[in-house]
Amino acid sequence: MVEPLAGHDGTRGGSRPLSALLREVADALAVGGPDEGEAGLALASSLEAFLATRGVPEGGADPPESAYARLARDHVGEDPTEALHVVGHPLMASQSPVFPELDIVVDGAAVSAALVFGAAFEGPPGLAHGGFVSAGFDIVVSLAAAQVSPWSMTRRLQIRFLRPTYLHDRLTFRAEASEGEHRSIHVTAVLEDSAGRTTAKATAEFVQFEPQRFADRRSYRPT
């Protein structure tokens, strides 16, 4: 069984992770609009100081490799049976500031992931943006496929939106995978609201590959 990494949320010394705070800041800005007051200027100043210590490259500079990419590459030689490129992905762990925190349960080849889309993820007024809903499907179908083979990539993902998906509602993605022919994996998935109604559904096809092909993705970057 391939499960998400535990304790990978960036919490330090009992304080709340920066990623969680950034998600709340994004929600606050979505609700209140741009904050140019004293509090907003102080926050902007603090964030600029933080970024200065991180050595973020300016436009045109060669972007640094992420901690996640280094972790996934190094892990190939340690335990290629574990799909760290899936379970350690930033969107799937609670350290992501750009996607809601997921409550993931793995049962065989079935995966469920509960979450709440806040105001920062709004599309039409009061509703979750379809792009974020699609990202949620991508996460759960990938983890379901990893239960069949720890090393696989998305070949096809089709999503059908059936009814509105509301913000601030406890939603649950559910996905289940099965092995197909010619190294393929087939996954079906649904998104349910807190009342148990299906708001969207998806089908996906994955292809299995050798873990060594994932060892150094930087070689695939355009020059």
Q: What are the pLDDT digits (tens) for 190-199? A: 999 999 999 9
Mean pLDDT, rounded, for 201-210: 91
Query: Which part of the chain has CATH 3.10.129.10?
Result: 67-214
**Tokens at residue 116, please?**
């709440």
Correct CATH for 67-214 of 3.90.1150.10, 3.10.129.10, 3.30.70.2740, 3.40.50.1370: 3.10.129.10
Q: Say which residue the tokens 């391939």 belong to.
A: 2
Q: What are the pLDDT digits (tens) for 45-98? A: 888 888 788 766 665 566 676 666 666 666 655 665 555 555 556 676 566 778
This prediction has a pTM of 0.79
Bridge partners of 171? 115
